[in-house]
């Protein structure tokens, strides 16, 4: 992401845009019991099946509070203004689990 962010900033400057671009990163996440995490991985595989990278995307799913905090910190360190935590399961408890993980 750092390389992509730097490219965006360079193009922003090249075209003399005012201020700075808003840099947003996304991480795929699922917290909770194993069945919740496995359902999220299935959803990722289904969604990305057409790309030929479905397994890669499923393996990249962040499934622990520690992994999520590390990703948010890393994105912040490279200049992200916002990090979207994209949850791949419909389990409503994800909201509280993610809030506890990040804050």
Per-residue model confidence as pLDDT tens digits over 75-89: 999 999 999 999 999
Task: Give 1's Cβ-side CA count (13 Å radius).
Answer: 18
pTM: 0.88
Q: What is the pLDDT of residues 11-67, one digit of tens each?
A: 999 999 999 999 999 999 999 999 999 999 999 999 999 999 999 999 999 999 999
Task: Give CA separation, 40 vs 45, 57, 67, 80, in Å.
Answer: 9, 11, 16, 25
Per-residue pLDDT, 51: 97
């Amino acid at each position: 992401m750092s390389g992509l962010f730097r490219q965006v900033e360079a193009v922003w400057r090249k075209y003399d845009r005012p201020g700075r671009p808003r840099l947003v990163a996304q991480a795929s996440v699922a917290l909770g019991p194993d069945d919740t995490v496995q359902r999220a991985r299935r959803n990722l595989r289904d969604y990305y099946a057409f790309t030929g990278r479905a397994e890669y995307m499923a393996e990249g799913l962040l499934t622990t509070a520690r992994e999520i905090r590390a990703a948010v910190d890393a994105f912040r360190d490279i200049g992200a203004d916002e990090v979207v935590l994209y949850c791949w399961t419909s389990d409503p408890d994800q909201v509280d689990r993610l809030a506890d993980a990040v804050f």
